[in-house]
Chains A and B, each alone.
Chain A
Amino acid sequence: MKILVVDDFSTMRRIVKNLLRDLGFTNTQEADDGLTALPMLQTGEFDFLVTDWNMPGMTGLDLLKHVRADDKLKTLPVLMVTAEAKRDQIVAAAQAGVNGYVVKPFTAAVLKEKIEKIFERVEGL
Chain B
Amino acid sequence: MAEMHLDTHAPSFQQDIKELAEDLLRKIDDGDLGKVVEVVNSINDVRDRTLYEEIGKLTRGLHEAIKNLKAGDELSEQTGMVQASDKLSYVMEMTDKAANKTMDLVEEGMPLNSEIQGGAEELHEEWQKFLRKELAPDDFRILSKKIDKYLLKTQMSSKKISSNLSDILMAQDFQDLTGQVINRVTKLVTEVESRLVDLVAMAGEVDRITGITHTEPSSNDIPQDGSENVTAEGPQTDTSLDGVVGGQDDVDDLLSSLGF
Task: Name B236's closest neighbour in chain A (CB-CB).
Answer: A85
Would A53 and B232 count as touching, CB distance under 8 A? yes
Q: Is the CB of A103 within 8 A of B227?
A: no
Is A84 within 8 A of B232, CB to CB?
yes
Which residues of A pack against B, CB within 8 Å?
Answer: 10-11, 14-15, 18, 53-55, 59-61, 82-92, 94-95, 101-104, 106, 110
List, in ascending order, chain B residues with CB within 8 A of A95's CB.
227
Could you list 23 examples of A-B contacts with CB < 8 Å?
A: A11-B96, A15-B103, A18-B103, A54-B233, A59-B232, A82-B232, A83-B235, A84-B233, A85-B245, A85-B251, A86-B236, A86-B243, A86-B245, A87-B244, A88-B227, A88-B230, A90-B254, A91-B227, A91-B258, A94-B258, A95-B227, A102-B248, A102-B251
Are A103 and B245 closer than 8 Å at their CB atoms? yes
A103 engages B103 (CB within 8 Å): no
Asked if B234 contacts A83 (CB within 8 A), the reply is: yes
Contact among B103, B107, B244 with A85 in the assembled complex (CB-CB below 8 Å): B244
Write the chain B residue with the least CB distance to A52: B232
Tally inter-chain residue pairs, CB-CB below 8 A. 77
Alpha-carbon gap, A91 to B230, bound state (A):
10
Contact in complex: B227, A85 (CB < 8 Å): no
Q: Is B247 an interface residue (CB 8 A)?
A: yes
Residues of B with C-beta under 8 A to A18: 103, 106-107
State how many residues of chain B have any CB contact under 8 Å with chain A.
26
Query: In the complex, A86 Cα to B241 Cα: how many Å?
Result: 9
Please pick, from B100, B227, B239, the residue contacting A14 in the complex, using a CB distance under 8 A: B100
Contact A103 B247 (CB under 8 A): yes
B232 touching A61 by the CB < 8 A rule? yes
Which has the most chain A C-beta neighbours within 10 Å: B107, B225, B251?
B251
List residues of B whose CB falls within 8 A of some A CB. 96, 99-100, 103, 106-107, 225, 227, 230-236, 239, 243-245, 247-248, 251, 254-255, 258, 260
When the two chains form their complex, are residues B248 and A103 in contact, meaning their CB atoms are under 8 A apart? yes
Beyond contacts A87-B245, A102-B251: 14 other A-B pairs, Cβ-Cβ < 8 A, are: A54-B234, A55-B232, A59-B231, A59-B232, A61-B230, A85-B251, A86-B233, A87-B244, A88-B227, A89-B233, A90-B251, A91-B258, A103-B247, A103-B248
**Interchain CB contact (< 8 A) of B239 among A82, A85, A110:** A85
Whether A91 contacts B254 in the complex (CB less than 8 A), given A18-B107, A61-B230, comes out as yes
Assess whether A103 is in contact with B251, with CB atoms less than 8 Å apart.
yes
Shortest beta-carbon distance from A51 to chain B in Å: 12
- The CA of A95 and the CA of B229, in the complex, are separated in Å by 12
B230 to chain A, nearest CB (A): 4
The 4 A-B residue pairs whose C-beta atoms are closest, nearest first, are A54-B232, A83-B235, A92-B230, A11-B99
Chain A residues, Cβ within 8 Å of B103 = 11, 14-15, 18
Chain A nearest CB, measured from B136 CB (Å): 38
Q: Which residue of B lies closest to A96 (CB)?
A: B230
CA distance A75 to B236 in the complex (A): 31
Residue of B nearest to A89 (CB): B230
State in angstroms the CA–CA spacing of A78 and B141 once bound together.
55
Please give me the residue from chain B that is nearest to A107 by CB atom: B248
A86 proximity list for chain B (CB < 8 A): 230, 233, 236, 243-245
B235 — which chain A residues lie within 8 A by C-beta? 83, 85, 104
Shortest Cβ distance from A14 into B: residue? B103
Interchain CA distance A89-B254 in the complex, whole Å = 11
Complex Cα gap A59–B96 (Å): 22
A87 touches B254 (CB 8 A): yes
